[in-house]
Amino acid sequence: MKKLFLSIAINLLVRSSHSQALYPTDSLSLRSIAIDTVGVKNENQIQSIEEKIALNYLNALSSDSLSNSPENAMNIAIEAFSAYADLEDKKGISHSINKLGMLELKKEQYWKALDLFKVSLKLSEEVGNKRGMAASYNSIGSIFFHLGNYPEALRNYLKALKLNEETANKSWQAVSQEGLGRIYTEQKNYPDAILAFSTALGLNRELGNRAWIANNLESLANIYYRQGKYTEAIKENFAALEIRDELNDISGLAASYAKVGTIHHLQGNFTEALKYNLAALEIFERNADKSAISGVCAGIGNIYTDMKDFGNAEKYLTRALALSREIHFIQTIRESYLGLAKLDSARGNYEHAFEYYKSYVHFRDSLVNDENTKLITEQLMQYEFDKRESLNLAAQENKIALAEGETKRQKWIRNAFIGGFAILLLFTGIFLTQRNKIRKGKVLSDELLWNILPEEVAEELKANGSAEAKHMDEVTVMFTDFVGFTEVSEKLSPKELIEEINECYSAFDQIMEARGVEKIKTIGDAYMAAGGVPVANTTNALDVVRAALDIQQFMAEHKTIKESAGKLYFEVRIGIHTGPVVAGIVGLKKFAYDIWGDTVNTAHRMEDSGETGKINISESTYEKVKDSFICYHRGKIEAKGKGEMDMYFVEAKNG
């Protein structure tokens, strides 16, 4: 076995011929140390000492500074590996290989690290070491995130999270949540990102993991500055800086400096932004951290572009691009191309700027696209369903136990009252009454279920106890929003406000039912519906546009009636988009049918980018309905988080 594991090390690692081992590593030397220590050749005592020696290697590695002495750390890790191979201890071998992987990851040797983590995972699986498996899954997830493969990163993070929850390992749960938060951030799913980072922060505060608390605070700051909440972002970043300073975490301080610099840049404080980023760069260069160097160089290049110092801007941006391409750091490759596009645009080199922008779009779309969104959403849905299934299974086992107890109780009741015929008749009467109540309750529960879920989904839930999440290739999603809702609602009494909303939404519900469109939910003053769910069809775009026109007509008539009565009224804005979604049930107690995916976000953007009283549709919906309705091309309109998109107003039906 030792030969097998040593061959793995030889294939995956290159050990310096000049390095000095901290301990002798051949099995004879290990045994000699053990014999000398205990003074006798007792096999149990010898094995115990050998295991302590092997553990000492890993303990030495944990206390060794990776930044100050990475070569020494690598030597210790190899000694640990060799010692555990002597003992044929798979758990220890797996642990030491995981350490080796972390060291390769630190050196940005991603593929080598990935191979090591996979070997560590396999060994942990063989011995049933769930904590070791979770550690490997987390590490593999971080590599795939770095390489821009978000679906694969998510798959590994979710596996790690499940195992960490099973073993009640809160520290590693926090690591998994931090990984999930980063994926959500890149997908611009900021609410879920904040929830994941906040969950990680709560766990780390409970455990007192101060270094990770700083990481979580910086991740939250990143979300806030993306949302334009600069005050909150600065606050969280400086809180992280204080922790880094107390811990004397130089690399962490550099990361915090870079983030603070980014926020100053966004606020237009170029001098402060440059000061913080250059300080960060100095530390990163000292540590030879290529991924961090490439990221901060891209930031410095963008600052110089805004300062009109085009020479320095080009110098730092080209360095960022070269480094990020060398280590295949997709996120920084993307940002470097965007920075170079902005630089050449500022210089007036529009042809070069366009070429750089095309490269940026290519890498942007390789990270965030419909296919990745679909895979990520499906995996999250599957994780939630698996989690719910395990809860349901536990609940079912509890019910069975209760039922067995109830059966015993019923036998006792039967034996106690077997001689009393009158009481038996009374029991029969009670039983019939209860059965009738149960039947009525079942009818009522069925009616309630049909009222909150689509009929097909409700029947599947009744039959199977669960409803499977489904990917739908073509669904048309509609959002409506009351324009000036806040201003109008402030002038109405609570009773008048509820009556007004209820009148509008009731009419919308009737329109959806008449047009065969599924109402999904209401969110405050927004109403969401979709065609083509839960049963796929080819008319969903036409059905939804017809429903939108009906809403448009209802709201126009409603406005006339309200105006004539001298009352306030709502006006509506409608947006529609067609594309793929994932559909299914959410919740354990209060079921709700919902849909997810970029199609939903885009439909919302269509509503945001529309005009009062009009129906704004995307190009994909236009292609489906252009022969049945009169559509007016609005040109390319900027959609928040989406860039420029072709949009159309639907104003009337043909004929």
pLDDT in tens, 10-25: 344 433 333 333 333 3
Exposed (0-12), middle (13-18) or buried (19+): which is 328, by Cβ within 10 Å? middle
Q: What is the pLDDT of residues 388-427, one digit of tens each?
A: 555 544 545 554 455 455 455 555 545 544 444 444 444 4
Q: What are phi and psi of 181, to 5 degrees?
A: -60, -40
For residue 622, give Cα distances in angstroms to 605, 615, 619: 15, 12, 5
DSSP state of 110: H
Contacts (Cβ under 8 Å, ≥6 apart) of 467: 457, 460, 461, 584, 585
C-alpha 612 chain-centroid distance: 34
Q: What pLDDT does residue 448 have?
A: 44
Query: What is the C-alpha to C-alpha distance for residues 409 and 412, in angstroms, rounded to an integer?
Result: 5
Beta strands in 319-469 (DSSP E): none
Query: What is the C-alpha to C-alpha distance for residues 335 and 299, in angstroms, rounded to an integer?
Result: 9
Beta 629-639 vs 470-483: how paired, if at all?
unpaired
The first and second tokens of residue 128, run together, are: 């049933």
Question: Within the chain, how many helices (H) and strands (E) appear?
Answer: 26, 8
Beta 615-618 vs 571-586: how paired, if at all?
parallel
Task: Tell me which residue has tokens 């060291």.
Answer: 103
Q: What pLDDT does residue 307 have?
A: 92
DSSP for 125-165? HHHT-HHHHHHHHHHHHHHHHHTT-HHHHHHHHHHHHHHHH
Query: What is the C-alpha to C-alpha distance for residues 627 and 606, in angstroms, rounded to an integer?
Result: 21
Q: What is the dihedral of CA 293, 148, 599, 380, to 10 degrees?
A: -120
Q: If we measure between CA atoms, which residue out of 271, 269, 323 comes closest to residue 298?
A: 323
- Please state whether the peptide bond connecting residue 24 to the residue before it is cis, i.e. omega within 30 degrees of 0: no
Q: If we measure between CA atoms, which residue out of 196, 228, 214 comes closest to residue 257?
A: 214
Neighbours of 96 (CB within 10 A): 28
Q: What pLDDT does residue 463 have?
A: 54
CB 599 within 8 A of CB 578: yes
C-alpha 464 chain-centroid distance: 29
Exposed (0-12), middle (13-18) or buried (19+): which is 130, by Cβ within 10 Å? middle
Q: If we measure between CA atoms, which residue out of 343, 278, 336 comes closest to residue 307?
A: 343
Rg (CA), the chain: 31
For residue 436, give Cα distances in angstroms to 343, 414, 443, 444: 77, 22, 11, 12
Q: What pLDDT does residue 426 have?
A: 47
* 43-72: b (≥16 Cβ within 10 Å) or e: eeebeebbbebbbbbbebbeebebeeebeb
Type and span of the H or E element at 623: helix 619-625
Task: Tell me which residue has tokens 């060794």.
Answer: 64
Query: What is the C-alpha to C-alpha distance for residues 576 and 93, in angstroms, rounded to an integer?
Result: 56
SS3 call for 351: helix
CB 103 within 8 A of CB 14: no
The gap between the terminal CA atoms of the chain, to the nearest Å, is 81
Sequence letter at residue 312: N
Q: Enumerate residue ranges in the chain where pLDDT < 70.
A: 1-77, 79-80, 82-84, 86-87, 364-469, 585-592, 653-655
Task: Tell me which residue has tokens 């770095």.
Answer: 146
Query: What is the C-alpha to C-alpha distance for residues 300 and 286, in angstroms, rounded to an integer?
Result: 17
Q: If we measure between CA atoms, which residue out of 181, 109, 119 comes closest to residue 147?
A: 109
The first and second tokens of residue 44, run together, are: 């149990």
CB 207 within 8 A of CB 171: yes
The first and second tokens of residue 174, run together, are: 């926090």
Q: What is the pLDDT of residues 100-121, one digit of tens each?
A: 888 777 777 777 888 888 888 8
- Please list the alpha-helical segments (H only) found in 307-329: 310-326
Q: What is the pLDDT of residues 323-340, one digit of tens each?
A: 988 887 777 888 888 889
Type and span of the H or E element at 632: strand 629-639
- Please list the alpha-helical segments (H only) found in 167-229: 170-186, 190-207, 210-226
**Left (φ > 0), alpha (ψ -120 to 50) or beta: where does 228 sit?**
left
Q: What pLDDT does residue 597 have?
A: 82
